[in-house]
Chains A and B, each alone.
Chain A
């Protein structure tokens, strides 16, 4: 946690959440960032909902031309993209997790508050760019949310449509990874004293595993999109059959992300339901350990099931069988969770609030969607259902019936804590029943119409197909579903203007957030709580079995526990910062510059981004110092160190995706120079230089740790020099190959080699910049023993770049004669 000494006075606390626009633009408070995420996501929910309604109106009658086929393509592409990336993820991760996790673990903020703000502004930047198509002649992205190659080839999508998608998605991906690093580090290192892993709320468990899943699932997508960007902007042929490439590569990279993505949104939904059900059943969550282990198992298995989206591509019987087995296995931990929720409800003292009703709705609809999912795990059945409306029905039962129901359960559950007001329960229940009716009426018939052969993404259909009645029913019920959300918005507006004030613990809750005022103060906890059991606040209120509290519960009474008063001592909270917003603006301008081919704008934006990043670093008053906060972690390492390691872990998967592509495409190279062009003597020298730079780096660390300023400078300068020599060697190598006739666009070998080695070189360049800043600080006398951590962090990154090169040197250079896959 940042440690800027800024004591919160009582008036400041009172004015909290009522500040001017500037306060919001510069906020780094996790609760405000959560509200910003929530507001943006709701806006995009409306956009995505309108897109869905346009799709349903188009399919209302046969041979309909309400919208054109091109607009229809844009609508289903943007509906999927919007609902997944701009609604579900920002709501679950950006809004709910941001608000709740620090409160659940007894922390005052997330591990990296500025990074948290940057995640939001970068998300908004990506979302705006995705919708830039509204202002462009070519229109919105139009090749589906999955963007299958080679539909996305410039030849078939010549306009800016998919350019916008590529740039927007890259930014959204970066935002998600930053957020995941933040949540991971927060949960691992910032839990209150006594809060062991097995005492965490199940929502925290689900977010911990979701963060890990994001870190390992997004890199393959990033690599796939980088290839697509290079194909569209720089004339490479990563997905072009004529060049020897295969569009199947995109499907693998996309679904390596795409199926874990289902669980990236489902696991937090499981977490929400695991909070709501015990609260309103007034029972502890049944089978807590198995619930936690199930989340881990689901996440692990989810990374090995991507192939079930590709049965129709002909992966072969062994791969089909393997993916079928893993896909079926995932039903076991999911089943454990469903039975545990039922067992929690069983025998409970139930209160049918709106939140609880939505949790029940989740249980019913998600189970239904899960059952049709098991069908898709079977390759022969899946081949019959692929690309039919049956699949549309299935994933809406899991994503709407599951994720959206859970989101709504969480919305009604945490709204009082976020805003300090109570939503109207009668309107809430009307919202629930309209949702259940509208949802089932819309998506149940899709199973039938899918089995009858109606293909998904079809613009229109003939009356003779016999699909008309069911499509009419679906559209009518979709309107009812839209009406349900209208009721929710009425409820929200009514509450904002005339809502009843919420007490601190309106639901007789079990977790720590209910011990705080509604809304909580900026610092969350005046005193960091010491946790002695699961459901910590419940135990505070009622005690353990046999105590007075249990007797009160039996009488249906709830003990009133007043939230703690203002802090008696100053609390150190992170200062507000404008740099995350400026950096995100730079990202937006750079993205736009790339889209409209305006290099000046891109260069200016890049400079702004670099300066903002440096500004963010240097406004941190204890940059590189081992602070008291950094010591008081629940893990055995510094917060920043855990964060860097998490990022490095994600980078491992990124480079593995690049290396795999290189090895696959090396064997498919059809013309021009191949791997035999590589020069071992030069590269051996570069390898020696990089390995020695790592030695100098650790010597610099040892010197700074013992307070030896002179040798710190010498070794750091040596590391930077060796890094520059390595980069010089790479520039020479690339130039030499270019003159030998191997350009980026020449063939599959050229594009994969330059991309892989070039990305490594870019990492080396970033490392050189990082270490140069440290070297300058050392020469200015600002790199003393107390800042050894900053040298250690720079060193970690540098050594990672080194080990990646160890792998590249072997697999790319020394195995040049070995045929690829």
Chain B
């Protein structure tokens, strides 16, 4: 098989894979999970006994919602690796940026209060 044929076959295969999206039933099931997760978030928010674990639980629950939407509604589970990496890499960078800035300003607030603002 020559290179050009291989490339075009690969493209055709990849293209058909790209469109193997799920049916409406999967979308509805995902929506049910999204509602359940939101309900759990609200439970964590309102139940006093869960206050000590509020932050980790909310992060896990909202992370799960984020992943469900990205994987199923944005079709990252079904599309090729190119699209996934185009999203995941900047998302990692964004997360790093968020935590870096929080850490840097936390230090500034706690150690330099009244000195440098």
Contact = CB atoms under 8 A, between A and B. Distances in A.
Contact of B86 (A642, A660, A802): A642
A18 to B, nearest CB: 36
- Most A CB atoms within 10 A — which of B30, B45, B59, B72? B45
Contact of B3 (A532, A649, A807): A532
Contacts of A800: 74
Contacts of B62: 806-807, 809-811
A691 interface: yes
Interface string B82-114: 110011011101111110011111111101100
A656 interface: yes
Contacts of A316: 107-108, 111
A668 B59 contact: no
A215 B106 CA distance: 27
Interface string A644-662: 0110111011011101110
B90 A216 contact: yes
A793 to B, nearest CB: 11
B50 to A, nearest CB: 12
| Chain B interface extent, by class | 35 or more
B5 to A, nearest CB: 9
Contact of A636 (B14, B41, B109): B14
A66 interface: no
B93 to A, nearest CB: 5
A318 interface: yes
A149 B12 CA distance: 53
Interface string A666-696: 0110000000000010001001100110110
B59 A641 contact: no
Given A636-B17, A810-B62, A818-B54, A664 B102 contact: yes
A642 to B, nearest CB: 7
Contact of B11 (A631, A646, A692, A695): A631
Contact of A821 (B4, B75, B80, B103): B103
Contact of A649 (B30, B89, B105): B89
Interface stretch (A87-95, A107-115, A489-497, A698-706): A698-706
A256 B4 CA distance: 43
A381 interface: no
A800 B80 CA distance: 18
- Most A CB atoms within 10 A — which of B69, B75, B93, B97? B97
A318 B108 CA distance: 12
B7 A193 contact: yes
A679 B31 CA distance: 24
A635 B34 contact: no
Interface string A199-225: 000000000000010011000100000
Interface in B8-60: 8, 11-12, 14-15, 17-19, 21, 23-24, 27-28, 30-31, 34-35, 38, 41-42, 44-45, 54-55, 58-59
A501 to B, nearest CB: 35
Given A637-B82, A815-B58, A821-B101, A652 B28 contact: no
B109 A642 contact: no
A383 interface: no
A799 B82 contact: no
A814 interface: yes
B109 A821 contact: yes
Contact of A648 (B87, B108, B112, B116): B87
A806 B66 contact: yes
Interface in A783-813: 792, 795-796, 799-800, 802-803, 806-807, 809-811
B73 A697 contact: yes
A814 B45 contact: yes
Contacts of B104: 252, 307, 315, 319
Contact of A702 (B27, B87, B111): B27
Contacts of B81: 636
A642 B55 contact: no
- Most A CB atoms within 10 A — which of B31, B55, B59, B73? B73
Contacts of B59: 810
Main secondary structure of the interface of B (DSSP, over half): helix
A35 B28 CA distance: 52
A660 B73 contact: no
Interface string A298-321: 000001100100000111101100
B54 A314 contact: no
Contacts of B72: 698
A50 B23 CA distance: 64
A248 interface: yes
B38 A701 contact: no
Contacts of A820: 102
A647 to B, nearest CB: 10
B79 A637 contact: yes
Main secondary structure of the interface of A (DSSP, over half): helix
Contacts of A632: 8, 11
Given A631-B11, A649-B86, A652-B91, A637 B80 contact: yes
B94 to A, nearest CB: 4
A641 B17 CA distance: 14
A246 interface: yes
Contacts of A653: 90, 93-94, 97
B73 to A, nearest CB: 5
Contacts of B98: 656, 659-660, 663
Given A642-B83, A806-B66, A313 B116 contact: yes
Contacts of A188: 82
A463 B104 CA distance: 42
A766 interface: no
B14 to A, nearest CB: 3
Contacts of A680: 42, 45
Nearest to A789: B19
A359 to B, nearest CB: 31
Contacts of A684: 38, 42
A702 B69 contact: no
A241 interface: yes
A621 interface: no
A194 interface: yes
B3 A194 contact: yes
Contacts of A821: 101-103, 105-106, 109
Given A636-B15, A641-B83, A692-B31, A807 B107 contact: no
Contacts of A694: 31, 34, 69, 73
A637 B83 contact: yes
A458 interface: no
Contact of B4 (A193, A664, A818): A193
B26 to A, nearest CB: 9
B107 A315 contact: yes
A695 B21 contact: no
A188 B21 CA distance: 23
Interface in A251-268: 252, 256
Contact of A633 (B11, B75, B103, B112): B11
Given A303-B93, A699-B24, 4 more contacts: A631-B11, A637-B82, A702-B27, A803-B70
Interface of B: 3-4, 7-8, 11-12, 14-15, 17-19, 21, 23-24, 27-28, 30-31, 34-35, 38, 41-42, 44-45, 54-55, 58-59, 61-62, 65-66, 69-70, 72-75, 79-83, 86-87, 89-91, 93-98, 101-109, 111-112, 115-117
12 contacts: A194-B3, A316-B108, A633-B11, A641-B83, A649-B87, A663-B98, A680-B45, A699-B27, A702-B24, A705-B19, A806-B62, A821-B101
Across the A-B interface, give the 10 residue pairs with the lowest CB-CB distance, nearest first: A636-B80, A649-B90, A636-B14, A656-B94, A810-B62, A821-B102, A660-B101, A695-B31, A652-B94, A821-B106
Interface of A: 188, 193-194, 212, 215-216, 220, 241, 246, 248-249, 252, 256, 303-304, 307, 313-316, 318-319, 530, 532, 631-638, 641-642, 645-646, 648-650, 652-653, 655-657, 659-661, 663-664, 667-668, 680, 684, 687-688, 691-692, 694-695, 697-699, 701-702, 705, 792, 795-796, 799-800, 802-803, 806-807, 809-811, 814-815, 817-818, 820-821
